[in-house]
Copies of this chain bind each other. A is one copy, B any other.
């Protein structure tokens, strides 16, 4: 496979950097829904991990001679729209959003890392979420369901809505992209969009079951 164009790498790093920055802000804001101070702090610490990742991505963009703001600009509208359309109403919805969103992001990044080389590939693999955050979120979801079994249905529906909104905004990301990023994905034959979509949703279904929700 030929090395991806710098343009595609810049687009991808910009997209991921903005994703981290907005995930930081939303997790920090959602932390106020926590039922107690230590859970509030736990979501805050998940948020802090995202801004640390943002810094690494922004620094890499600077090394490539690109202003991070310029690389992120095309994606502000769709990523902001995703978060605006999925504001959690309570703690259970907040941890479900963190659980679902982090995991799908990680799956996507793992897939896309295969199309990169060298330090950019390693950087993308490095910014994957630590499993302890997913463990925390899944445990909170199971607790909420155990306290009130009716919650399972509501959170399952919420998770489906999150995935639906994410896919809808992913379409807008592809449209906002200057072409290099989608070309990068298309170049790798493993990256057939249909197959990619199927793999991402299959992994999502498995995770829903692990947290006691149904797809």
Contacts and interface: CB of A to CB of B under 8 A. Distances in A.
A198 B139 CA distance: 50
A106 interface: no
Interface in A38-52: 38, 40-41, 44-45, 47-48, 51-52
A58 B76 CA distance: 35
Given A28-B24, A28-B28, A45 B51 contact: yes
A121 interface: no
A67 B37 CA distance: 10
Given A25-B31, A36-B69, A52 B41 contact: no
A41 B55 contact: yes
B28 A47 contact: yes
Number of copies of this protein chain within its complex: 2
A205 to B, nearest CB: 32
A18 interface: yes
A32 interface: yes
A68 B37 contact: yes
Interface in A84-127: none
A21 interface: yes
A41 B21 contact: yes
A29 interface: yes
25 contacts: A18-B37, A21-B37, A21-B41, A21-B44, A24-B28, A25-B29, A25-B32, A25-B40, A25-B44, A28-B44, A28-B47, A29-B29, A37-B68, A37-B76, A38-B58, A38-B67, A41-B51, A41-B54, A41-B55, A41-B58, A44-B51, A45-B51, A45-B55, A48-B51, A48-B52
